[in-house]
Structure 1
Amino acid sequence: MARKNDDLGGYRSLFENAVEGIYRTTPDGRYLDANPALARIYGYKDPAELIAGLTDIARGLYVDPADRDRFREILARDSVVSNFEARVRTRSGEIIWIAENARAVTDGRDRLVCYEGTVQNITARKQAEESLRLAATVFETVGEAIVVTDGQRRILAVNDAFERMTGWSAAEMVGQSCDLLAVEMIGLREVDEMWRLAAGTGQWSGETWTRRKESEPFPAALALTAVDQGIDGRFVLLLRDITRKRRDEQRIRFHASHDALTRLPNRHTVMEALGESIVRADQTGERLAVLYLDVNRFKDINDSYGHGVGDELLRQVARRLKSCVRASDVIGRLGGDEFVMLLPSVGDHSAAQACANKVLYAFAEPFDMEGLQLFAGTSIGIALYPDDADGAESLLSRADAAMYHAKRGGLPYSCFDIEMDRQVAERVSLENDLRLALGEDQFRLVYQPKVDALSGAIVGAEALIRWRHPMRSDVSPGLFIPVAERAGLIGAIDDWVLVEACRQVAEWRAAGLNLPSISVNLSPAQFHDGRLKDKVKAALADSGLSPSVLELEITETMMASDVDRAIEILGQLSALGVRVSLDDFGTGYSSLAYLKLFPVSTLKIDRAFVTELPGNAKDGAIIASVIALAGNLGFSVIAEGVETRDQAAFLAARGCPVMQGFLFSRPVNAATFAALLSNPEGLIRL
């Protein structure tokens, strides 16, 4: 009896102190007994609380009711359930994983007495398994290549991304040394250092070069991690192909240092190269030449043919300039149509002049713009270091001054001399004064009459701008108009001319002086201004003039780039009732086939055809043809630059009685012109 009691006591001690949960239930599922471990697993204070809280071993526990049904089915069928895994809720609502074993207990007659079983909390194991599963999934599906090695750098495993990235299969790589991936440009010393740092600190990361199976090395971002730093240590190497990143970085660096249109070095890069060249010149005692050039008439071409043609012209200029230099020379685009050439190691001006002559020869051939052939010359300025300047900025500035001198003088190129410094200072001063001129009312208009030579009547006038500078007296338009164009001021000046001309005519009319029409010249910038129609409407509205009084003079080249757009602009002006005159007819680039499409009212014969009349038979034939053409198209015609009676008689005899020129009157101020309107009898008539 004592032995039996001892056995029962031992069993009870085991029951109470077991780490596994142990229970007994009735056949209908009521708890008969439970140990403390089971209470703890389910979140109860003690077994009594558990038994009172749960009358059914499955009720309220299983997260998925199907698990409860499956557990009961197995137990009823087999009388045993082994290692049944399921998720259950504890008393607090926490979800845990359990592994449960249960069996049916019968008496000697095989009658079911109860069920007994054990429960283990396997949540930690399940989480570890999930982590491993996720790790395996990541290993196989991540976009980065992964290599697992042992402590001796032998490859234990590689993932699919590695196979795709390098072209090596796992079968080829497992057992190989990871050094197989190193390339000659890196060297084993650097590779050893990478592994040493990873082993010592736990991780190394950086960018390097590695290899593919059958192609060139490629740049890669690496991350090497020591998983276990013991004798049986493992390392995980992550590789990411950064070829595209490197290309993007190179592209960004290129665009930061080069002109997007021509792909030549930009101003910043040119100045850096110039500074470096000056340092080398100081070290070697050699000279350095700078050629500063721009494209003649580029603005006219750009305005007349459109920005697409202008951009293509600049690209072709860049290609031609490259063909004129040595490999050691530098060509850059400073902006707009301005380029620079740096020629290191030149002996004297003759070497720079030889290069300039090559450039001029390259510009002699026409530029082919998809069937449109354009001739575009260049003006070149030359400056030498250390002869002409002591630094990069001053050297470039003096080459620019020499270029401007060449352009003004009609020279192909010019070498800097000290007098040009004064001219540059004068140009800068003139530009600064020009910016003040509009605000300080320094501009004025003069008016040249358009005369019917047969009757002597004034039939119109052309408004021309003059600048009365407070210190310089009268500044010639030939001097300040190019400066205004270069400084971007021409648009504001043109707008002022339009408004002032309309205002003055309105003033004369209010005084009883009737001027049939007033002509205003449009610059290319003004013609292509999208607000031109509105500006014309505003000038007419402010002055009260009828639109038919205003005549706008344009040139052929302003319309040649985009004929459809030019027709649209002219149509807008004609719709206002404004008349349009084609100035300098016969000297531009437009096709006569387009002339019938342009809504113009007048053709203006250029003075170049009038100057040598009546002696020049060719000029006479051209003029006769223009007059006949105008008549056939329903245009009126006027000749400018008429200075002699013989010229006037020749023109009148061929059907062009309306003329403009010094023979009748020079351009005069408003008061003098008012006197002419009052007493036109003083004008010459035939």
Structure 2
Amino acid sequence: MDDAVARDLNQLALSRCLDAVVFIDDKNDVIFFNDAAERLWGLPRGEVMGRNVSHLVPLQWRGRHDDFVDTQRRTGVARILGTTREVPVDRADGTRAWGQLALSRAEMGDSIFYAAFVREITDDVRRREQMRILSLVAETTGRIVMVMNNRLEAVYINHAFFEIFGYDPAEMIGKSPFRLILGDAIAGELMDRVADRLKQLPGCTEEVLLSDSSGKGVWVSATYNRVIDSATGEITNIVAVLADITQIKQIEELQRDVLAAVVSDQPLGDVADLICRKVEAIAPGVLTSIITVTEDGLLQPIAGPSLPQNFNAAVEGMAVGPKAGSCGTAAFLGAPVLVSDIATDPLWDDFRWLPLPQNLLACWSVPIKLRSGKVAGTFAFYFTECRSPSPWHEQIVNACIHLCALALERQESQRHIARLASMDSLTGLPNRSEIINLMSDELLRAEALKLPLALLFLDLDHFKDVNDTLGHTTGDRLLVEMSRRLKAQLRTGDVVGRIGGDEFVILIHNCRGDEAARISARLLEYLATPVNVEGLNLSMSVSIGITLFPEHGADAETLLKHADAAMYEAKREGRGKFRFFTEDLNQRVQNRLVLSVALRKAIRNKALKQYYQPQVCIADGSLHGVEALSRWHDPVHGDVPAPRFIALAEEYGLVDGIDEWGVETACAQIAKWRAEGLPVPHISVNLSPLSFRSGTIVDVIAGCMRQHNIQPSDLRVEITERVMMDQHPNSLATARAIETLGVHIAMDDFGTGYSSLSSLARLPIAELKIDRSFMMSLEQDQNSQALATAVVRIGQSLGMSVVAEGVETEAQMALLRELKCHAAQGYLFARPLSIEDFEAWFIARLQQNTRPTASRA
């Protein structure tokens, strides 16, 4: 083979070599760059050939590279160097690779050439660096890392094992570490359990109590992970990572024991003492104390089991302030206070004599705050050396502060519950239960001393209107002011309490009836003085019921019940009065209660009936409309007059049910008449003023008209002047909402109340009804004639129809005809009739060829 062929073969071999090969000449220029070099540097051969080799060397390495080459040139060595070195390679794409460099030198004439052979070792370098980092992690972590073989013998244990358990890790290699720190039996059971779980899962965790070299218990959270041989599928190694959770367990145990004490309602002092003793057990060298702060800002020690007894006694009653030691200052500032040297810190200037003789040299105090933000106490650590708390101390305090706050809040809640059990939260007066207790005690005393007592039961008149119109906040302020006034009028030894929403009672000792009357009269006048609430001057009256001991009852409940009855009697007689209880009143109250029960049952069972009284047009005798009148016949009480049971319904909150029944029944009846072809122009229903306050009657009317498919002109609503005089904001709104439905409103019994013409113009009234009381003397009394005339003229001037009630004679009809009154209603035409009787009356009237016109006025 000639030399040319040999050179070509050598060059081909070098080009195809798996390692990068780079030749440089005596000027350090690249004269050969093989395929592997192109791949390693990521550069095409054309960009490299002829350029200085430093172009291939990372910038930060170029100086050392040139020195190395120059040194080799000076040595004159003409053979492959005996050493290799690792060099970085910066690729064209910006990534870094690593190569193992071997350098060869050759002389050809006067020229010296170098051949660089670079084997890529990037993956090896990365693995080695990864192993180095993992080794650093394993050796510097605070957790124990153990690698065991499938026989559970240690092949690697890091330094943390010594730090936690006190054993040299080297002594554990080849042995079972768990057998040393647990014993053979327990360790065997543990490792069998772990091995079984790792057969099913790749890893598992459990908490284990171990022992260190001194026998002290150490809680760890141990996580085990298996290593599987990919070829056989068998477990080759187990990697265990153990975290010391002793402190966590200690705090958990502390919290568990304290919470159990709190839940079992142990006294606050016992709970505080438990906290202190538990903390001192897990924080050696610390003396603890828990101090509460009274409402007037004084310190009250409740626990300090390791502090000298005279120390706690001296702290009691000290005031909080900006320079009140650690605890007093922490309570004052609401922030932690650390004094690392009590002997020199100015916060202890006035109190240094207390801790220093006891060798208490440092103190860290943290305020105990309730959820409201109020500082309720302090939790303090005292040290017998000048120092600051450790992170472990801080962790303990963070846990205990919440426990202390919980215990204090529970005590506060218990106190609050006790206060609620006896005191009214709004006014601070005794509540009903406490009043009964006080009365019972006072009655025993009065009976023993033969002394009279008086009980006054007060209720604010129209208080519901204040709440509804001005809001409950205004109502509450009014109640507070009334309670203040009542307390101001008490004699020494008398008791006032709030037993309900706007109900108060006053127990007056050594008081007979005449004095009770004088006191009640004075209270009526005093309480009626206007109260200024949010810029409004409110004049409130009260109704007072009075019972006397022993005349009206021998026990607290009886006296209260009878006084309540007397108070309601005062309300029925006009309010702003006082009334004494009598047996006759008691009987009336009982009868009314029994009747109310029967009425409630009748409403529920729809036992009420509607009767119908015709209204006749005066001009032609046609039917103007009919008024639906409620009637109630009870199997026990017989026929109960409508005024009586309507008043009873309003008193006991039943009137809404009656009004809803009345609207539903009337709508159903007019719809039936329409279906039967009986031309009744409209039907009128009486509604209570109380129904106008809630406003729900509007939805009832609208729903009934839809249900029975009747027109608004088929129905008419009758109200009394009480609606006009009602100051409740919903009353006027309800009346206008009814008018919006298209239903006309009639004013019943007009002229007998206290309404004004301005009120009449304000309400959407379509019809006036002259009260029957005017008809009784219309024929003889000019005043009655004048009043009837005035009502008719008012209605006509306002575009309203006028209906006269109680018409019984032709003479009355003649006068009404002269006045051009629109319609009349009364016994002259018909009494209130049942459905059947009214239909018979109407049909007979039709048969007399007096056809009714469908008046829609």
TM-superposed deviation, 1:654: 4.8
User: Which residue, 419, 423, 429 being the options, matches 2:588?
Assistant: 423
Q: Is 2:172 the partner of 1:172?
A: no
- Measure, in 2, the Cα distance between the counterparts of 1:165 and 1:421: 60
> Partner of 1:402 in structure 2?
566
> Partner of 1:460 in structure 2?
625
- Tell me: CA distance 1:507–1:288, structure 2 relative to 1, closer, same or farther (3 Å): same
Q: Is 2:528 the partner of 1:351?
A: no
Q: Is 2:671 the partner of 1:494?
A: no
TM-superposed deviation, 1:542: 4.5
Q: Is 2:848 the partner of 1:671?
A: no
Give the residue type in structure 1 aligned to 2:354: S
Matches within 5 A, 1:125-524: 153=311, 162-166=328-332, 169-173=346-350, 175-177=352-354, 255-259=420-424, 264-295=429-460, 321-322=486-487, 324-335=489-500, 338-346=503-511, 348-362=512-526, 378-406=542-570, 412-524=577-689
TM-superposed deviation, 1:538: 3.6
- Measure, in 2, the Cα distance between the counterparts of 1:150 and 1:546: 92
User: Which residue, 156, 160, 176 being the options, matches 1:95?
Assistant: 160
TM-superposed deviation, 1:225: 8.8
Indicate if the aligned counterparts of 2:779 and 2:811 stay in contact, CA closer than 8 A.
yes
TM-superposed deviation, 1:671: 3.4
Give the residue type in structure 2 aligned to 1:390: A
TM-superposed deviation, 1:250: 6.6
Give the residue type in structure 2 aligned to 1:398: H
> Equivalent residue of 2:435, what SS?
helix
> Equivalent residue of 2:510, what SS?
strand
Indicate if the aligned counterparts of 2:138 and 2:158 stay in contact, CA closer than 8 A.
no
> Partner of 1:185 in structure 2?
none
- Measure, in 1, the Cα distance between the counterparts of 2:795 and 2:528: 35
User: Which residue, 731, 743, 763 being the options, matches 1:578?
Assistant: 743
Deviation per residue, 1:464-485 (Å, 9 max, x gap): 2121111222112333233323
- Measure, in 2, the Cα distance between the counterparts of 1:363 and 1:328: 21
User: Which residue, 694, 711, 716 being the options, matches 1:546?
Assistant: 711
- Measure, in 2, the Cα distance between the counterparts of 1:392 and 1:617: 58
- Measure, in 2, the Cα distance between the counterparts of 1:323 and 1:671: 65
- Tell me: CA distance 1:89–1:243, structure 2 relative to 1, closer, same or farther (3 Å): closer
TM-superposed deviation, 1:425: 2.9
TM-superposed deviation, 1:416: 3.0
- Measure, in 2, the Cα distance between the counterparts of 1:553 and 1:590: 16
TM-superposed deviation, 1:551: 0.9
TM-superposed deviation, 1:96: 6.6
- Measure, in 2, the Cα distance between the counterparts of 1:58 and 1:576: 89
TM-superposed deviation, 1:352: 1.8
> Equivalent residue of 1:393, what SS?
helix
Indicate if the aligned counterparts of 1:63 and 1:89 stay in contact, CA closer than 8 A.
no
Give the residue type in structure 2 aligned to 1:276: D
- Tell me: CA distance 1:375–1:563, structure 2 relative to 1, closer, same or farther (3 Å): closer
Indicate if the aligned counterparts of 1:388 and 1:395 stay in contact, CA closer than 8 A.
yes
Indicate if the aligned counterparts of 1:303 and 1:528 stay in contact, CA closer than 8 A.
no
- Tell me: CA distance 1:294–1:563, structure 2 relative to 1, closer, same or farther (3 Å): closer
TM-superposed deviation, 1:568: 4.6
- Tell me: CA distance 1:59–1:255, structure 2 relative to 1, closer, same or farther (3 Å): closer
> Partner of 1:534 in structure 2?
699
> Equivalent residue of 2:311, what SS?
coil
TM-superposed deviation, 1:343: 1.8
- Measure, in 2, the Cα distance between the counterparts of 1:285 and 1:162: 55
> Equivalent residue of 1:153, what SS?
helix
- Measure, in 2, the Cα distance between the counterparts of 1:598 and 1:269: 48
TM-superposed deviation, 1:597: 5.8
Give the residue type in structure 2 aligned to 1:171: W
- Measure, in 2, the Cα distance between the counterparts of 1:97 and 1:402: 88
- Measure, in 1, the Cα distance between the counterparts of 2:507 and 2:356: 47
> Equivalent residue of 1:176, what SS?
coil
- Measure, in 1, the Cα distance between the counterparts of 2:788 and 2:538: 26
- Measure, in 2, the Cα distance between the counterparts of 1:367 and 1:610: 45
- Tell me: CA distance 1:264–1:88, structure 2 relative to 1, closer, same or farther (3 Å): closer
Matches within 5 A, 1:72-111: 91-93=156-158, 95=160
Aligned identity (percent) is 33
- Tell me: CA distance 1:545–1:59, structure 2 relative to 1, closer, same or farther (3 Å): closer
- Measure, in 2, the Cα distance between the counterparts of 1:137 and 1:582: 86
- Tell me: CA distance 1:414–1:631, structure 2 relative to 1, closer, same or farther (3 Å): same
Give the residue type in structure 2 aligned to 1:153: F
Structure 1: gaps of 5 or more residues? 1-53, 68-84, 99-120, 181-194, 196-206, 208-217, 229-235
- Measure, in 2, the Cα distance between the counterparts of 1:264 and 1:356: 20
Deviation per residue, 1:216-254 (Å, 9 max, x gap): xx99657799989xxxxxxx9999899999987776555
User: Which residue, 630, 638, 642 being the options, matches 2:803?
Assistant: 638
TM-superposed deviation, 1:549: 1.0
Indicate if the aligned counterparts of 1:300 and 1:558 stay in contact, CA closer than 8 A.
no
TM-superposed deviation, 1:149: 6.2
TM-superposed deviation, 1:281: 1.5
Is the deviation greater in 285-294 or in 597-606? 597-606
TM-superposed deviation, 1:500: 1.9
> Equivalent residue of 1:361, what SS?
helix
Indicate if the aligned counterparts of 2:717 and 2:744 stay in contact, CA closer than 8 A.
yes
Deviation per residue, 1:508-564 (Å, 9 max, x gap): 445543221111122234334454333223433444433311111234554666787
- Measure, in 2, the Cα distance between the counterparts of 1:437 and 1:87: 81
- Measure, in 2, the Cα distance between the counterparts of 1:463 and 1:312: 44
> Equivalent residue of 1:656, what SS?
coil
CA root-mean-square deviation: 5.7
Give the residue type in structure 2 aligned to 1:395: L
TM-score (norm 1): 0.61
> Equivalent residue of 2:348, what SS?
helix
TM-superposed deviation, 1:353: 2.0
- Measure, in 2, the Cα distance between the counterparts of 1:127 and 1:363: 69
- Measure, in 2, the Cα distance between the counterparts of 1:430 and 1:633: 42
Aligned residues: 543
- Measure, in 1, the Cα distance between the counterparts of 2:527 and 2:782: 34
Q: Is 2:812 the partner of 1:656?
A: no
Which entry has the higher C-alpha Rg, 1 or 2?
A: 2
Give the residue type in structure 1 aligned to 2:347: A
TM-score (norm 2): 0.51
Give the residue type in structure 2 aligned to 1:401: A
